[in-house]
Chain A
Amino acid sequence: DTGVSQNPRHKITKRGQNVTFRCDPISEHNRLYWYRQTLGQGPEFLTYFQNEAQLEKSRLLSDRFSAERPKGSFSTLEIQRTEQGDSAMYLCASSLEPRNTIYFGEGSWLTVV
């Protein structure tokens, strides 16, 4: 197992377009998290899944954002009608309950022009 995998690693899109990021967690990890990180800041929590159930969403996750984990394995994060303020690195992480060691992927960079 090579860890948490994210793709694409980089995405440049025009304002108003939709983008989707995919995350493959570490095998058998039942928890999956999405975070967002902007330049000079620490990662901010967006949402998390326990298996296929989305159990918590941050206020940062506006209506334009949607995350899914349909089979309890990989997850997608979709941003609709992107805005320049959405430009950031989107980080996925996973962990195995009940242990709280959370492992991050390499992130997906989004630039909205």
Chain B
Amino acid sequence: GQQLNQSPQSMFIQEGEDVSMNCTSSSIFNTWLWYKQEPGEGPVLLIALYKAGELTSNGRLTAQFGITRKDSFLNISASIPSDVGIYFCAGQLAGSARQLTFGSGTQLTVLP
């Protein structure tokens, strides 16, 4: 199946620092989504992107849909301890019936 390359795999940052993670693919996507998953829970949608070049913010989170439609990034500004979790990118491939392909995840640890 199609793969999304998500990086970094893990991050250890100090509280207050900014964070950036990204996903790339060789395939074209119609939609990019960013999720956060905490232990024992299902993924929770953070940001959805529908158009190439789109830049969307949700509080301290900002994500962009790459102009080539093959990549996306997520930035978290001024990190806080509750930002800890696994962040997944997910994309809906062009021509697919709305199934999502998930990246491998970025494990974020925020140190006080």
Partners in one complex: no
- Interface residues of chain A, those whose CB is within 8 Å of chain B, are none
- Interface residues of chain B, those whose CB is within 8 Å of chain A, are none
